[in-house]
Amino acid sequence: MPIRSREIKRRLGIGVRKRTRQAATGRTATKRTSGSGFDISGLPRLRLPRLRFPRFMHLWARGMRKGRPRGSGYGAAGAGSMAGTGSSGSGTGGSRSGFRAGARSGRHRRRSLAIRLPVAFRRLKDRMFRLAVFLVIALVVFGVWQLLRPGIRVRVSPEVVAAFRVPHRAIGMLEDYAQMHNISFPHLFAIFNAENDFFPEKSAVYDLSVLEQLYVVDFYRIMRRYNARSLAPYIAMFENLFSELVTFPIPPGWYQSEPSIMFGDSWGVEHNFQGNRMHMGTAILDRENIRGRVPIVSMTSGQVEEAGWNNQLGYFVGIITTSGTYYLYAHLDSLAPGLAAGQNITAGHPLGYMGNTGGGRGGRSFPVHVHIGISPEVDFTRGRFWINPYPLLRYMEGRGGAVLLDISD
């Protein structure tokens, strides 16, 4: 006779429960006793851990069961076999019932295998979906952390940014380094300005030999130090400017061995016309001082927003690009034929000729020149924001191979 689990626990000395009848109350009380009969109800129970076999052991046991003969099946099959051997004359019936039950259990195993395969695929699909959801949530959390993480915030006044006192020779060098090292040029240029506080004081001497070592080699380390949200408006501004500016406002055919065109950094110079005002642009002059001689072309592609006459600006043209940047060409002697507001033009399109109109009621009281003004659309200040065009003009001059006289000093 097989040994029952209660007997095994008693032999091992493990507490078992005995049910006793209380005659007085009619209730059933439960006492925990040891193998020797002592009452151990007050002691803590000893729980045996439940054994869990790995998945491969279950599969191995299932394979072993599949290898048994049909007559020795499970459940009703075993019962039928025992019934057939237990009494005389019923062995044949028990064997038959056992074979039938074994056949039924075999069909059940095949049917359950056909059911388990779609269930396994469904579980795999659910796990893949959960993994995809987890990755999406992780990416969203990482993006939010990148936006909100602490870092160095760019704190500079809009007046300092507008003055744009960056060394103009550094612009072309940084662009070459960005191409060599496969780095975004607007990002690199924004880092260069932020590391120098946008050059609050104009410096005539700057060591350009250290640009690559200081800002290009350690570019990614410097980028991680800055708060991405505070640096983003300046990156967007530089990206718009450098992607839109294509050509110098004077055609290359006018550059000669002895240049007749000259310009300098005149940003912030006081003007006395209609009160003291600050000059917010760059004046390109003709040394010959002849009106209507030097043609002016558009530096960018865009739409002509304004074209006509103004007492202060004379004949002028205002062009706006898709990014919202406004480019002003003023004091022209005349406008190009057919040029009108609402017209879409490309870079290099003729706008007119250099002159000295404006500055009074149609009077011409200053040398022949063209006023260049650039007003980008920015997020770090309100209202119309003008930036110093001088470094950008020098950048386009060098890129186009021009050699013009600098009168900044």
For residues 80 and 94, what is the distance between their CA atoms, to the nearest angstrom?
5
Boundary of a domain, candidates 195, 224, 244: 244
Pair (184, 310) in one structural domain: no
Domain range for 165: 158-244
Query: What pLDDT was estimated at residue 208?
Result: 78
Cβ-proximal residues to 175 (8 Å cutoff; 6+ apart), any chain: 185, 242
2 inside domain: no
Same structural domain, 231 and 262: no
What type of residue sits at position 82?
A: M
- One domain for residues 174 and 192: yes
Choose the final residue of a domain: 186, 210, 244: 244
| 356 and 292 both lie in a single domain | yes
207 and 342 assigned to the same domain = no
Interior/surface letters 327-363, b for 16+ CB within 10 angstroms, e for the rest: bbbbbbbebbeebeeeeebeebbbbbbbbbbbbeeee
Please state, in angstroms and rounded to a whole number, the distance separating the CA atoms of residues 193 and 235.
10
Look up the pTM and report it. 0.63
Q: Name the percent of the chain in helix, strand, coil, to the closest 5.
A: 40, 20, 40
Q: Pick from 192, 227, 244: which residue ends a domain?
A: 244
The pLDDT, as a whole number, for residue 186 is 95
User: What pLDDT sits at residue 239?
Assistant: 96
Indicate if 284 and 325 belong to the same structural domain: yes
Are 219 and 353 in the same domain?
Answer: no
Helical segments of 149-250, H only: 158-163, 168-180, 185-195, 211, 219-225, 228-244
Token pair of 363 as six digits:
């009077």
Average pLDDT along the chain, 409 residues, taken 10 residues at a time:
57 52 48 50 57 53 49 43 42 49 52 59 81 91 75 89 92 93 95 92 71 90 89 95 93 68 87 70 91 93 94 93 96 94 94 88 72 94 92 85 50
Q: Where residue 281 sits, what CATH number does that domain have?
A: 2.70.70.10
C-alpha 193 chain-centroid distance: 22
Q: Which of 284, 396, 395 is nearest to 348 (CA)?
A: 396
Q: Which of 370, 375, 395 is nearest to 161 (CA)?
A: 375
Q: 3-state DSSP call for residue 31?
A: strand
For residue 243, the model assigns a pLDDT of: 95
pLDDT at 81: 42
In a domain, 32, yes or no: no
In DSSP notation, 54-119 reads -HHHHHHHHHHHHTS-GGG-STHHHHHHHHHHHSTT-HHHHHHHHHHHHHHHHHHHHHHHHHHHHH
pLDDT of residue 62: 52
Same domain (yes/no): 205, 257: no
- pLDDT given at position 89: 43
Tell me if 23 is assigned to some domain: no
